Structure 1
Amino acid sequence: MQNQSLTIKKEKILTGDRATGQLHLGHFVGSLQQRTALQHQYEQTILVADLQGLTDNGHNPHKVSSNILNVVADYLAVGIDPQKTTICLQSAIPALSELTMYYSNLVSVARLQRNPTVKNEIAGKSFGSSIPTGFLTYPISQAADITAFKATLIPVGDDQLPMIEQTNEIVRKLNYIAQDDILVECRPLLSKVSRLPSSDGKSKMSKSMGNCILLDSSERDISKAVKSMYTDPSHLRVEDPGKVEGNVVFTYLDAFHPDAAYVHELKARYQQGGLGDGTTKKILEECLQEILKPIRERRKTFISDKSQLIEILRSGSQKSQEESNQVLNSVKNAFGLNFFQL
């Protein structure tokens, strides 16, 4: 009897990161842990998005090129297996750029400007009137990435939901033109922790803002970051009742501590009075040190062998080229642009 598991086609997942710096705890809890688990159940592709990294770093391309292998090393260090997950480089897959060009004819500038994710990120970047065209149009680029691999499940934070909506709009427009379902719509897979705040609690943890705990942070750096974390400014004495809402230490304990019941107990004690900030920070630091130590050690090994990282990227990109070219060919047919094949 034929093994039934071999006949079931796995659902496809596409995810990735801009190559603008090393990955941090926000990535770890927001997506990397999830990806490590998903690779055993789904056909997963992870895209190192160097082209999208250039959309706000065109003036400093070295920031992108110098971090490509850093990102791959981070993937491997957290347990992403290149034998189970395809890791590829965006700029090494020409079909993605060509699809972006075709899709750009289906989306108006006004629609891009209405995209809430784009509006918020433009405001955060303080571009003023000098918005790079690539930054404004990166929702189209993301749609090209997703559809090129016929991905149906996209792990995202809730702030990225408008990107999924815009991708599906493009899918429907293209399928209407083709009078055939040559592209597939996708749906979001929301992470449990979509935004991890920085230690000061004023913004989310961010590579660009330099307020993050990197996956290869030293013991000293982790300790320093935890000790500086924002708690409850009115909690002046151990016996004072404290607030856990907006208290970054408890936000991190919720995200990283393996014993949820214990964290719940700590919260109750803190709110009643009798639990000091120093104690809660010590508990958090011990938790983070335990999580990051093995990741840091594995990463050190991987980043020292750059030829291995390059080969993983090359192999994954070649596989992805073949897959994306099939979709590109269908899209060109829809536009009547496969002239020499007519």
Structure 2
Amino acid sequence: MYAEKVLSGMRPTGRLHLGHYHGVLKNWIRLQHEYPCLFFVADWHALTTDYDEPGTIAASTHDMIIDWLAAGVDPSQATLFIQSRVPEHAELHLLLSMMTPLGWLERVPTYKDQQEKLSHKDLTTYGFLGYPLLMSADILIYRADKVPVGEDQIPHIEFTRELARRFNHMYGREPGFEDKARESVKKLGSKRAKQYEELRTRFLEKGDEAAIEQAHALLDDVQHLPHGDRERLFGYLEGGGKMILVEPDALLTEARRMPGLDGQKMSKSYANTIALREDEESITKKIRTMQTDPQRVRRTDPGNPDKCPVWQFHVIYSSGEVQDWVQKGCRSAGIGCIECKQPVIDGILKEQEPMRERAKAYEDDPQLVRNIIADGCERARKLAQETMRDVREAMGLDFN
């Protein structure tokens, strides 16, 4: 079985804001200490909707990577790379497009949603229709078994799983597979071979998922087993062929809605953001001029925190003690809005201070960023090339 890997990417839209930090980056920072992680700049994905405005992608990529590093993504713990620097993504995407039913792409829920949201753009392109397939290629090229996503992205992961299953079924059936699989079983030794056959029967006859896990653990324990036999036995276990592409699982992330300055979701399109690494004066001004409870016209009027966008920031940045102070003080008019906003300002500035410090070295010397990306691209490409070697062989495209 292939080693555990986490893969996640982000479109280069320029400087990131607090919504990106709390929604994605904090999770990446946690995951990089738990699994081997690959984090990539999805620059080709940016072209699916902005194919007519490619000029900003390079600068946006540079700014976004500095934000990743500033937030605490560690290149010694995770592999950071740019999608377009690993051409194997495009090759796998092309080969998968040959066997992907058109109906599968049209059924992806976000296809029609995005067309409606971006109705001002001409999205009647293959690139837009095929972006779930490119996303699948991004995952499958690294045999990543864990992809951190929100609930709205689960259909993309299921699409990728179906695609891997279809590929393995079509191309994993080598001539004489059953006979070769039985020969591979013998290489386990009599005791393990018997266990393997019992677990395989339990799964195929009763659908026992625990049996699959036990069989995977059994195969992982066999150190001397050649790579080809190992993959053959993983496929034989589930009644299929050789497992060439790994079916990923969705790693569901906690949906944390970061409020914007106006109470809506924080988004550049709403012009309600606070950027990572934004200067202190700008942050202070933005919070101080935030809209509060519209019913609280005068300092002496009692307010309702539930109707105030500032309260949503307290939920994220303030301790329970401060939150109690806000609730009581606002409802009784014991505190004014300026007083109420100060702990939020302090909380955001405290969070951003180490980010500004970490970013300084990369801002002063852009070559540091280029070196990190060059190293990450090299590591990522090596993994991608291994997968493509197996894919070409399975499809009969290895002419060497």
Give me the TM-score of the superposition, normalised by structure 1: 0.86
Q: Which amino acid aligns with 1:335?
A: M
Structure 1 position 21, deviation (Å): 0.6
Using the alignment, how far apart are the partners of 2:105 and 2:321 within structure 1? 44
Using the alignment, how far apart are the partners of 2:320 and 2:155 within structure 1? 32
Structure 1 position 225, deviation (Å): 2.5
CA 1:129 to 1:333, structure 2 compared with 1: closer, same or farther past 3 Å? same
Query: More helix per residue: 1 or 2?
Result: 2
Q: Aligned runs of 1:131-146 on 2, under 5 Å?
A: 131-146=124-139
Once the two structures are overlaid, the 10-residue window that deviates more, 262-271 or 318-327, is 262-271
Q: Greater CA radius of gyration, 1 or 2?
A: 2
Give me the TM-score of the superposition, normalised by structure 2: 0.75
**Residue equivalent to 1:294:** 354
CA 1:136 to 1:229, structure 2 compared with 1: closer, same or farther past 3 Å? farther
Aligned length: 330
CA 1:214 to 1:184, structure 2 compared with 1: closer, same or farther past 3 Å? same
**Residue equivalent to 1:155:** 148
Candidates 362, 367, 373, aligned match of 1:313: 373
Using the alignment, how far apart are the partners of 2:136 and 2:105 within structure 1? 12
What do residues 36-78 of structure 1 show as CA deviations (whole Å, max 9, x unaligned)? 1221121011101111122222222121111222122112111
Structure 1 position 278, deviation (Å): 2.9
Candidates 12, 17, 36, aligned match of 2:5: 12
Q: Aligned runs of 1:1-342 on 2, under 5 Å?
A: 11-127=4-120, 130-177=123-170, 178=172, 179-202=241-264, 204-207=265-268, 210-237=271-298, 239-244=301-306, 247-257=308-318, 259-260=319-320, 262-263=322-323, 266-267=326-327, 270=330, 274-338=334-398, 340-341=399-400
| Percent of pairs with identical residues | 33
Please tell me whether the aligned partners of residues 216 and 296 of structure 1 are also in contact (alpha carbons under 8 angstroms): yes
Using the alignment, how far apart are the partners of 2:260 and 2:286 within structure 1? 9
CA 1:256 to 1:117, structure 2 compared with 1: closer, same or farther past 3 Å? farther
Please tell me whether the aligned partners of residues 40 and 84 of structure 1 are also in contact (alpha carbons under 8 angstroms): yes
**RMSD value, Cα:** 2.6
Structure 1 unaligned spans of 5+: 1-8
Using the alignment, how far apart are the partners of 2:332 and 2:165 within structure 1? 55
Please tell me whether the aligned partners of residues 74 and 215 of structure 1 are also in contact (alpha carbons under 8 angstroms): yes
Structure 2 unaligned spans of 5+: 173-240
Structure 1 position 305, deviation (Å): 1.1
Once the two structures are overlaid, the 10-residue window that deviates more, 231-240 or 143-152, is 231-240
CA 1:244 to 1:66, structure 2 compared with 1: closer, same or farther past 3 Å? same
Please tell me whether the aligned partners of residues 8 and 39 of structure 2 are also in contact (alpha carbons under 8 angstroms): yes
Using the alignment, how far apart are the partners of 2:98 and 2:330 within structure 1? 56
Using the alignment, how far apart are the partners of 2:372 and 2:252 within structure 1? 28
